[in-house]
Amino acid sequence: MSSVAPAKTETARRKRRGPSLPPPSACKRRRTPEVSGWASLPTDIVHLVTNRLLAGDVVDYIVFRAVCSGWCACTSDPRDPTLRKPDLLPRGWVALCDGDGVRPDDAREITLFHTRTASRIRVRLAELRGHRIIGFTQGLVILVNKRTVAVRVLHPFTRVAVDLPSLVPVFHDAVRNRNSILDMHAAVCSASAASIAVVVWFPWTAVVLGVEAGRTTWEVLHRGLHLRSVLPFQGRLYATMGDSREIVQLYPRRSPHPVLAHVPNHFGDPRLCKFFLVECRGQTLLAVYYYSAVQPRGADPFQQIAYKLFALDIDGGELTPVNGLGGHALFLNGDRCLSVLARDLPSVSSDSIYFTLRCHPVVVHSASTGFSERLAMSCQIHDRKDRIRPSVRPFTIADHLLTYCHDREWTKGLMFHEYHSIPESFEELAKYIKAKDSELRIPRVAGRNRVATLRATQSIIKV
């Protein structure tokens, strides 16, 4: 029997190296008789520079403020306690996977990658201790406490955190499935001009929950919605359905019904199709995965797969066909979808769609030619039964981005193309994952404990 054991946490930490961004600290103006050079730039010029920096990346702005005390003193603090200012959010940053089998929350650090500049920063976050990562939105990290099941939104660069109430009461009333809590997903939305909201949904329970920052209880937003692909866009939350052609708005709630649009009915049975929502070039795209009737002679079965792209008009609820991706590449999955500009990432094919099939973890589909190709065939570490080779490194950017879109593997510290399925022979890894899942505990509600005790007492008296 062949097995694979995850690396020890301490060993993994020693192996993880890379630039780390320290938290911004308060700046103090030095008392000097006179300033010269760059530090003597006029304040209006400094503001012009910072505005351009914030238009691109908040990390550049943080680094700019750290150059000297003068620049720090004449610029505003990047810490936004509400996490509502869009220019101070870590836009364009995604989380990479080390592939060492160590959960990022256990290692208390995350490697972040900027999809436009290809910059990489390893951020050490003590705030991850005792938490589990359940989502990302515009670079913000969404956490759940393993003991109290309270939710927290964390800015990885400024370390600002917004705490939200526990999910325990609403879990016992509306969810009641512990496996759903283990694999739940979350997104940050805009509740108002001064506060954020978090929306949570589950793979095994058709319930959508939401809470606004400052509130004390969660609210059931929707019931009976089987979600396929969920997209945060411009402070709102949209989703496709797993068993219909409907596109719905999850947050804020639409009245009288959440349906925003319908996918055209010429792709066959919707249960055999997949509908993905992804933000690309500042607009919402719908990618329809379906089976084409045209298949070249001698082609592999996966060549039957085709994609059709539509631009979704959020206000009008209309779908307009799109012919190309404008040099972008899409990474699609039910957990998360991502669009990147391929010209900034040479190892990623432009105008292509990266996705996965049950037997093929990495497939790339050309939006221009309609041809599909399997990747990572020589990187498979097992044959679905036993290990056949060690991990093939270094990982490609495409491997990392696809893993980021597969949240269940990413949170376990596993590369998706290697562990999209875990054979029974990987016994030690399975035990390790089970042990880590057991750390997430769901407390009982005090009132329920009293009711249970009363019922037990009554039964004893009757006996």
Q: List pLDDT tens digits, range 385-396.
A: 999 999 999 999
**Sites in the chain below the pLDDT cut of 50:** 1-14, 29-35, 449-463
Looking at this protein, which amino acid is placed at residue 111? Answer: T
Residues with Cβ within 8 Å of 211's Cβ and at least 6 positions away in sequence, in order, are 151, 164, 165, 197, 198, 217, 218, 219
Per-residue model confidence (pLDDT) at position 38: 66
Tokens of 386: 């036993």
Strands (E) in 191-316, as ranges, are 196-201, 207-212, 219-223, 227-233, 236-241, 246-251, 259-262, 274-280, 283-291, 305-313
Per-residue model confidence (pLDDT) at position 21: 58
As a whole number of angstroms, the longest Cα–Cα distance in the chain is: 90
Q: Which has the closest alpha carbon to 240: 284, 180, 280?
A: 284
Tokens of 366: 């050309």
Per-residue model confidence (pLDDT) at position 14: 43
Cα–Cα distance between 235 and 189 in angstroms, integer?
Answer: 5
Instruction: Evaluate whether 250 touches 238 at the Cβ level (below 8 Å).
Output: yes
- Around Cβ 269, how many Cβ atoms within 10 Å? 8
Residues with Cβ within 8 Å of 268's Cβ and at least 6 positions away in sequence, in order, are 290, 291
Per-residue model confidence (pLDDT) at position 298: 59
Per-residue model confidence (pLDDT) at position 352: 97
Residues with Cβ within 8 Å of 11's Cβ and at least 6 positions away in sequence, in order, are none
Q: Which has the closest alpha carbon to 306: 372, 356, 242, 350?
A: 372
Q: Over the range 68-77, which residues count as b (16 or more CB within 10 Å of their CB) and which as e?
A: bbbbbebbee
H/E stretch holding 458 reads: helix 446-462
Tokens of 300: 């592999």
pTM: 0.88
How many C-alpha atoms does 380 have within 13 Å on its Cβ side? 18
Give rounded-to-5 percent helix, strand, coil for the chain: 25, 30, 45
Per-residue model confidence (pLDDT) at position 415: 97
Instruction: Evaluate whether 151 touches 142 at the Cβ level (below 8 Å).
Output: yes
Cα–Cα distance between 207 and 219 in angstroms, integer?
Answer: 10
Per-residue model confidence (pLDDT) at position 242: 85
Cα–Cα distance between 248 and 258 in angstroms, integer?
Answer: 5
Q: Is the peptide bond before 423 cis (omega within 30 degrees of 0)?
A: no
Per-residue model confidence (pLDDT) at position 164: 98
Per-residue model confidence (pLDDT) at position 175: 93
Per-residue model confidence (pLDDT) at position 40: 75
Return the domain boundaries, the chain: 18-73, 82-224+426-463
Per-residue model confidence (pLDDT) at position 462: 41
